[in-house]
């Protein structure tokens, strides 16, 4: 073929019409993006001589993905959510920002409006006989001073790697809490040590990963939104050191600066001081927030999220 099929004038015209470029109405940016995406799809069809069977298989895959509500899971697994982080990192570096706690992906499993308490929260409902975790730290600003009244919104999986709300066998808001920092910028939570997550083995995301020869596992991790007036919202996670998937996360969220060492505490006086029955695992993590240069930066990005009523 001398000229690729998608360069034929009738094909060019087809895509201009189908993406609305020849219409007066509609959204100009959306039209341009759709046009580029359609053009890219046609190029892939040409380059790989995609068959009708393959094409309809792909269309039906989208139905399966939506039916299982796994589109956001696939976005994480294909590294696209991490790509957005890399772009934001580059923008921050261009603004001269450095030294703050690194961001990493939100993932698909946040639920808004978790119970809010001052300084401390117990996150687990006591039904999972996991190892007790004492999670604590301090929130600080660019000036190194503690931030009082910051909201630390925490969510993590149980010992099976499952998240409440999505896993209906768990109680409402289990392992999901918001803690407001005290006058010294400190937060603390009693919870259970989470296990790593694995994609549903019978779902469309895992099916695609299988075709790529990839696994769908994440190391044990804890998610955070950290926010405070006058400071840039932070979306991040910490990974627990020692996990076999620490540097082999299917969602590419592990970063230097976001690895916490779990510490076994056997000191019964310290346990008593924390009102814990005994031996537990301590996870310490501090956050450094950037100053917000516009009030919009104080808020997390807009995105449809699960809402428990």
Q: Which residues bind Fe ion (CB under 5 A)?
A: 107
- Tell me the window of 100-108, 122-130, 227-235, 263-271 that interacts with ligand MBD (CB under 6 A): 100-108
Choosing from 100, 107, 141, 203, the residue that interacts with ligand MBD (CB under 6 A) is 107
Q: C-beta of 221: minimal distance to Fe ion in Å?
A: 6
Binding partner of 123, given ligand MBD, Fe ion, none, CB within 5-8 angstroms per partner class: none
Contacts of 196 (CB under 8 A, 6+ apart): 157, 161, 217, 218, 219, 220, 221, 243, 245
Which residue, among 218, 260, 219, 214, has the nearest Cα to 238 in the 3D structure? 260
| Site map 212..231 versus ligand MBD, x via CB under 6 A | ------x-------------
204-212 vs 52-67: helix axis angle to the nearest 10?
A: 140
Strand partners, 198: 217
- The dihedrals phi and psi of 64, each to the nearest 5 degrees, come to -65, -40
Nearer to ligand MBD, 76 or 152 (CB): 76
Count of chain residues binding ligand MBD (CB under 6 A): 10
Q: Rounded distance, CA 105 to CA 83, Å?
A: 9
Choosing from 42, 65, 76, 289, the residue that interacts with ligand MBD (CB under 6 A) is 76
Give Cα 58 to chain centroid, integer Å. 26
Q: Rounded distance, CA 91 to CA 87, Å?
A: 6
Q: C-beta of 194: minimal distance to Fe ion in Å?
A: 8
251 near ligand MBD (CB under 6 A): yes
Residues of this chain that interact with ligand MBD (CB under 6 A) are 73, 76, 105, 107-109, 197, 218, 251, 253
């Amino acid at each position: 073929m001398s000229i690729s099929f998608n360069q034929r004038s009738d094909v060019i015209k087809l895509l201009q019409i189908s993406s609305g470029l020849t219409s007066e109405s509609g959204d100009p940016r959306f039209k341009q993006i759709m046009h580029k995406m359609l053009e890219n799809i046609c190029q892939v069809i040409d380059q790989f001589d995609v068959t009708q069977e393959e094409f309809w298989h792909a269309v039906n895959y989208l139905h399966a993905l939506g039916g299982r509500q796994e589109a956001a899971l696939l976005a994480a697994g294909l590294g696209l959510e991490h790509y957005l982080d890399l772009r934001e990192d580059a923008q921050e570096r261009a603004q001269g920002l450095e030294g703050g706690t690194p961001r990493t992906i939100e993932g698909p499993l946040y639920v808004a409006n978790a119970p809010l308490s001052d300084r401390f929260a117990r996150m687990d409902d006591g039904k999972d006989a996991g190892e007790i975790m004492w999670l604590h730290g301090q929130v600080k600003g660019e000036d190194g001073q503690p931030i009082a009244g910051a909201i630390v919104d925490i969510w993590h999986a149980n010992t099976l790697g499952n998240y409440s709300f999505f896993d209906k066998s768990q109680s409402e808001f289990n392992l999901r809490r918001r803690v407001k920092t005290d006058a010294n910028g400190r937060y603390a939570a009693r919870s259970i040590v989470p296990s790593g997550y694995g994609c549903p083995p019978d779902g469309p995301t895992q099916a695609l990963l299988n075709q790529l020869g990839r696994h769908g596992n994440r190391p044990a991790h804890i998610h955070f939104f950290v926010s405070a007036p006058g400071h840039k919202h932070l979306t991040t996670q910490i990974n627990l050191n020692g996990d076999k998937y620490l540097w082999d996360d299917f969602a590419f969220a592990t970063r230097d600066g976001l690895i916490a060492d779990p510490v076994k505490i056997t000191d019964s006086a310290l346990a008593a001081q924390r009102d814990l029955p005994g031996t537990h695992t301590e996870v310490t993590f501090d956050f450094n927030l950037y100053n917000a240069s516009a009030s919009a930066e104080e808020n997390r990005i807009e995105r449809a999220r699960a809402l428990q009523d």
